[in-house]
Amino acid sequence: MAGNWKMFKTIAETTQFIVDFLPLVAGVTHADIVIAPPFTAVADAARKTAGSSVAVAAQDLHWEKQGAFTGEVSAAMLAEAGARYVIIGHSERRHIFGETDDQVFQKTRAALGAGLTPIVCVGELLAEREAGATNQVLARQFGGSVGGLTLQEFTAIIIAYEPVWAIGTGKVATPEIAAEAHRFIRSEASAKFGKDTANALRILYGGSVKPDNVRGLMAQPEIDGTLVGGASLDAKSFAAIVNF
C-alpha cells in the first residue's frame, strides 16, 4: 500500500505525519507500507521510519549515475538517502513533463541497479478508454517501459495501473474495470516473462482510492495493493486504507 504525496509536505509536515501514522499501522503484516514524500523529505522520512513497518519511496529519479543534469537526482543518491522504492512514470510525469516510455525503461533499470524497487506506472487517458484503446495503450506502455527488462529485473518490479481519468478526480475505477486492466497487464507479463513470473507480479491500482472504496478494490484477486495520492496525505485516512 503506497502513498504518493506529489508536491505536498515539508520536512516538518512529513515528521508530523510519521508521528501520527506509525502507531496506526504498528504490527501490520498483511501489506508492505510505503510513503513517497518529496525529495527534500526522503532522508528525514527514512530516518524517522527506520525499524518500523513503513518504507520510503522517491517519486522520480534520473537514469544516469551522475552528470550535468541540473535539478535531477540519481538512483544511488536516493538509496543513500534511505529510499527503498521509487515511483517511475507517474502520469503526471508522463503528461506534464513529457516523460516517454523509453525514459521510464531507463529509469527502471537505473533504480534496479541501485537496489531500489521501482513502482512503474501505466494507464490510459479518458479519450483512449472512450476510443476503446485501453489495452492498446497498456500494451504499448508495458512493452516500452518494462518489456525490455531481463527476467531477473522484471521479478523485482511492481506495476501500478493508474487510469489517468481516475487520478485526483474522485472518479475511482470500478473494481471490475480495474481488475480487467490488471488481468490484461498480467497477460502481457505472462506472454513476455512466463506464467509464474506474471502470477508473482504485484500490480497496484491507483486513482481516487479512499478509505470507503478500498475494500471493494482489494476484494478483487487481481488487485494486489493500491497507490494512493490525495488520501495518503492524512495519517488517519491512509492508515484506514492500509488497514482496509
Give the Cβ contact number of residue 152 at 10 Å: 9
**Is residue 71 within 8 Å of residue 39, measured between CB atoms?**
no
C-beta of 172 vs 193, nearer to ligand PEP: 172
Name the pairing type of β-strands 85-88 and 117-122. parallel
Q: Which residues ranging from 67 to 106 are in contact with ligand PEP (CB under 6 A)?
A: 90
Region binding ligand PEP by CB under 6 A among candidate stretches 11-19, 78-86, 103-111, 229-237 = 229-237
Question: Distance between CA 212 and CA 199 in Å, rounded?
Answer: 28
The grid cell for 86 is 521509487
Q: How distant, in Å, are the alpha carbons of 21, 42, 104, 161, 221 from that of 178? A: 28, 30, 22, 8, 11
Q: Using the rule CB under 6 A, which residue among 40, 102, 130, 168 binds ligand PEP?
A: 168
**Among 167, 189, 203, 241, which residue sits at the site for ligand PEP (rule: CB under 6 A)?**
167
| Known active-site residue 162 | yes
Nearer Cβ to ligand PEP (193/209): 209
Q: Name which of 81 and 231 has its Cβ closer to ligand PEP.
A: 231
CB of 8 to ligand PEP, least distance (A): 10
Q: Is 176 a catalytic residue?
A: no
Task: Exactly one of 99, 124, 128, 162 is catalytic; name it.
Answer: 162
When the beta carbons of 141 and 208 are compared against ligand PEP, the nearer one is 208
Q: How far is the CB of 159 from ligand PEP (least distance, A)?
A: 13
With CB atoms as reference, the residue minimizing the distance to ligand PEP is: 229
In angstroms, rounded to a whole number, what is the distance separating the alpha carbons of residues 5 and 157? 20
Find the binder of ligand PEP among 138, 223, 229, 241 (CB under 6 A). 229
Say whether residue 59 binds ligand PEP (CB under 6 A).
no
- We find the least distance from the C-beta atom of residue 194 to ligand PEP, in angstroms, to be 29
Measured from the CB atom, is 31 or 193 closer to ligand PEP?
31
Residue located via cell numbers 519511496? 57
- Residues 191 to 220 in contact with ligand PEP, rule: CB under 6 A: 206-209
Segment near ligand PEP (CB under 6 A), from 47-55, 103-111, 194-202, 228-236?
228-236
Give residues in contact with ligand PEP (CB under 6 A). Answer: 4, 6, 90, 162, 167-168, 206-209, 227-231
Q: Could you give the residue numbers annotated as active site?
A: 90, 162
